[in-house]
Amino acid sequence: MKFRTITFVLFLIMGIGMYAQQDAQYTQYMFNTLAVNPAYAGSRGVFSINALHRSQWVGLDGAPTTQTVNFNTPISERVGIGLSVVNDEIGNGTNQDTYFDGVFSYTIPTSDRGKLSFGLKAGGHFLSVDFNNLRNYQAQGSALAPPNIDRKFSPNFGAGVYYHTDSFYAGLSAPNFLKTEHFDRSGDGGSNTFLAQERINWYLISGYVFNLNPDWKFKPAVLFKAVKGAPLQADLSASFLYNERFSFGAAYRWSAAISALAGIQLNEQFMLGLAYDRETTKLGNTAFNDGSFEVFLRYEFRTRYKKVLTPRFF
């Protein structure tokens, strides 16, 4: 079983180069918007600190794990700034991607309720690949695994637009514009092969909050992610918010997974969110896959630009 698991992880890593790398995946994308759209910075009107941990395919040795930490804040009525760090790991440290980005947004009022924000981000990406973790499972003398990559840095930048009112939001973004190819072996007599290949990921997000009555709110939301060489990803979710404090709902990732979501606003500043995914593919029926888990934490400081956070859905 462990041999099959490590072999799966190895081909997952090599598949990054064959089919184009997807960015890190989130079920609670509606709370982690800054990770995919820089124009979101400052849109809540408060200094906001967010952290998320995702364990994917629990029970599969070497399965992906993701951690994100970011903050964003308005520094004037129109300007927002932020910082985002994302760490994505596959194979118990075999493949590790770490992204650092500074974020800037500028907002233009379009009506009494609507605001249109333009965002930019700039930073870089560290890639590490350590095939020593796999050597015990390879045949002696195998040429399958190339030499390691040690924290190779690649700069990048991205942009996005984000429109929102008190009850609606929509955004389009490309977090990384530069195409980066890692580990070109064409110079050593081998074929023109790349172990890891960064391509542009496009994100479209949207959601609407319905006020059902003074105690209940309902919000459907969607996220579409597109990258050349991989199928279009569509995430659909629907959540209820009770008394501005308790939220619960469900989500569906097209042809991939179903999810349950829950959250609690512990006080005006602190929120806790949880999500669980179950694969609808053949992988979901395997005995060693217990689903995927996410934990999200948010802490916010009041500012003079916004005292009351309504609604708390985005």
Q: What is the pLDDT of residues 152-163, one digit of tens each?
A: 888 999 999 999
Q: Residue 133 has what pLDDT?
A: 73
CATH 3.40.50.2300 for domain 2-301, yes or no, is: no
Q: What is the pLDDT of residues 213-227, one digit of tens each?
A: 999 999 999 999 998
- Residue 150's pLDDT band, with cuts at 50, 70 and 90, is confident
Q: What is the pTM of this model?
A: 0.82
Q: What is the pLDDT of residues 187-221, one digit of tens each?
A: 555 454 555 566 788 999 999 999 999 999 999 99
Q: Are 270 and 284 in contact (CB under 8 A)?
A: no
Q: Residue 232 has what pLDDT?
A: 87
Q: What is the pLDDT of residues 244-263, one digit of tens each?
A: 899 999 999 998 899 999 99
Residues 6+ apart with CB under 8 A from 44: 72, 300, 306, 309
Phi, psi of 174 (to 5 degrees): -135, 95
In DSSP terms, which residues pair with 106 in a beta bridge? 79, 118
